Copies of this chain bind each other. A is one copy, B any other.
Amino acid sequence: MGLPDEQPRPAGTTWLRLYPRIGLHGRLVHQLGGRIGRGELAPGEALPPIDELLAVFGVSRTSIREAMRVLAAKGLIELRQRTGGRIRPMADWNLLDPDVLAWIDPFRLEPGLMAELAEVRLAIEPQAARGAALRATPADLEAIQVQFSTMEATALEGDLAAFYAADLAFHAGIFDASHNRFLTQLGRALMPALDRAFDLHRHHVLRREDPTHLRWRICPMHGAILEAIRRQDPAGAEQAMRLVIENAINELAYFEERGPNPWNDDRPAAPLPLSAGRPTCTRL
């Protein structure tokens, strides 16, 4: 059958609330969602009829239908009687659904999406920092502090993976500390995309070969946010966050000018084949 084994959620991603990958239909959801998000199934295209999918994946109607319902619930496809499934234009997708955002490979397919993401970050995160300065509890502060300390330590050690993980958690912590449910949701939804942006940043930092950059430029800027939140200074926190994001945008823009798309180096060029060995259907 054409379905991968069940995989546990990757470590260190507790802030993510992805649709469970368990059961046949759950794996199917992520399989098809990923295909759509990567553009292997183009918007406007019709999905194969159920009987065909049924044969390709080797699962029952029930599972196929449940998976389709989930994808429809997230706006990726449209289901109509007689016509069958059809992939909706990206504008109709629930882009703020963590699953959908995780399925999209924004930088490989659509460089413009990253600029749009930056714009949203610039709108949202300073406001979240402001909220955190107003309403953070001691526990919130402690959580953010821990991530900041981790950032400082790992930046010195050169453990980039740990550094960016802590960076991500730092930003997530501020969203949580804002105690605004919409902002928290929004932060969570954006995390997968932010993760990709950080990957890109890391890639460029590696090329640049300047290990002091993270420790002596990025860390102090984040420290300023933490301090402003600690002294309950909304304007200061907002401004400090704005600086961090503008810096990230500038660095990426600076990096982008040089060299081709870095994704092509370390990622498989061709998508993996979906079905293990049943040439029943050529479309999927």
Q: Which residues of A contact B (CB under 8 A)?
A: 17, 19, 25, 62, 65-66, 69-70, 72-75, 90-99, 113, 116-117, 119-120, 122-124, 126-127, 131, 180-186, 189-190
Contacts and interface: CB of A to CB of B under 8 A. Distances in A.
B182 A117 contact: yes
A185 B116 CA distance: 12
Contacts of A182: 95-96, 116-117, 119-120, 190
A74 B75 contact: no
A69 B73 contact: yes
Contacts of A95: 181-182, 185
25 contacts: A17-B92, A19-B73, A25-B69, A62-B62, A62-B65, A70-B70, A73-B73, A73-B99, A91-B181, A91-B184, A94-B185, A96-B97, A96-B185, A113-B181, A116-B182, A116-B183, A119-B127, A119-B180, A119-B183, A120-B180, A120-B183, A123-B123, A123-B124, A123-B127, A123-B183
Contacts of A117: 182
B116 A181 contact: yes
Contacts of A113: 181
Contacts of A122: 127
Contact of A119 (B73, B92, B120, B131): B131
Contact of A17 (B75, B98, B116, B185): B75
Task: Tell me the interface secondary structure of chain A in the complex.
Answer: helix
A122 B180 CA distance: 13
A113 B185 CA distance: 13
A124 B185 CA distance: 14
A92 B162 CA distance: 26
A122 B126 CA distance: 11
Contacts of A186: 96, 120, 186
Given A62-B62, A116-B182, A96 B127 contact: no
A186 B74 CA distance: 14
A124 B127 CA distance: 9
A172 B25 CA distance: 36
A125 to B, nearest CB: 9
A131 B73 CA distance: 29
A176 B96 CA distance: 16
Contacts of A116: 180-183
Contact of A96 (B65, B96, B126, B131): B96
Contacts of A72: 19, 70
Given A17-B75, A123-B123, A189 B69 contact: no
